[in-house]
Amino acid sequence: MTALEVDLAGYLAVRRALGYTLARTEKLLAQFLLWLQERDRDVITTDLALEWATLPPARGSNWHAQRLGVIRVFAAYLHAVDPAHEVPPADLLPQRPRRAVPYLYTDRELLALMDATSVIPTPHRAATLRAVIGLLAVTGMRIGEAIRLDRNDIDHEHELLVVRDSKFGKSRELALHPSTLHELRRYLRRSDRPVPAEPTAAVFTSAAGTRLTYCNVHLAFKRTVGHAGLRPRSAACRPRPHDLRHTFAVNTVLDAYRCGADVQTRLPLLSTYLGHIHPGSTYWYLQAAPELLALAGEQLEEHLQGGGR
């Protein structure tokens, strides 16, 4: 093992202790170190980092910048111990923002989306997608969290759902409405539920009875969106499964405004419920929905008229 490989192991250990998974980072940095070793180089320089980061193939306009960004963070870690390692400038390869604009579903669109699952030809598959959409809409779960659910993660007695070892290695409990538990029980008791070759504890299963995959959901969801008549609102704003999570977050804050609750005290609770490790991550979900802006504006106006500072 080379000195840089030892440093990489330490770097990954430190960052993973902070909650990062770094699967792609580890793969890219291992490739970069192998590339350096083939050239008999053991010190990171800006020129070497740039040369490797811009190697073909380029998967997209941001791919080279992403590769360089991975090296930059590692180089900064090394530079703190050995200044011989250079940290590539942050603006060396400009990266264009590509984050999608969340598609906030109205209540009518959510109902239309769930009804449109009937376009899926197999009854069990249609019921599975409907149940997944409904659960994401009322809990704000990540789609990967829903897919990983096992039967024993549903606590019927205490009306809870346990999300285990999710992003950043965190687990949490989500309170469920009785109607949600009722729908989950009805889904699990379907007589047409496929029997897999090997037993599975998964809540949501495919047509073969195995645990559902993201590809299963993505393809079926896309078909359902078309059948429901939902259209993109812009080139960057298209209906996606993850937007159910955005919609849940916005609706939670809207409910707080409408019932006169203290929104600022509710935000940390929302962050915890969503599984965020920092409230700043939650603010991204609170997109500028017209209703949300209107209610926030009304409260600000009342505050100013009341002489608040």
Q: Which of 105, 99, 178 is nearest to 140 (CA)?
A: 105
- Could you tell me if 76 and 88 are in contact, meaning their C-beta atoms sit under 8 angstroms apart? no
Amino acid of residue 179 = S
**For residue 163, which phi and psi values (nearest 5 degrees)?**
-100, 115
d(CA 150, CA 146): 9
d(CA 118, CA 3): 58
d(CA 245, CA 139): 8
**Active-site pick, 142, 148, 211, 246:** 142
Half-sphere exposure of 76 (CA within 13 A, CB side): 9
**Active-site pick, 64, 125, 246, 276:** 276
Q: Could you confirm whether 98 is annotated as catalytic?
A: no
Q: Could you confirm whether 85 is annotated as catalytic?
A: no
Torsion-angle region of 146 (φ positive above 0: left; ψ -120 to 50: alpha; else: beta): alpha
Q: Could you confirm whether 27 is annotated as catalytic?
A: no
**Active-site pick, 11, 187, 273, 285:** 285
**Active-site pick, 67, 211, 245, 246:** 245
Q: Could you confirm whether 167 is annotated as catalytic?
A: yes
Task: Please confirm whether the linkage preceding 89 is cis (ω < 30° from 0).
Answer: no
CA dihedral (301, 280, 240, 183) in degrees, to 10, reads -90
d(CA 19, CA 155): 27
Q: How far is CA 138 from CA 12, 123, 134, 157, 204, in A?
A: 36, 23, 6, 19, 16
**Active-site pick, 16, 79, 164, 167:** 167
Q: Could you confirm whether 242 is annotated as catalytic?
A: yes
**Active-site pick, 164, 227, 242, 266:** 242
Which residues are part of the catalytic machinery?
142, 167, 242, 245, 276, 285
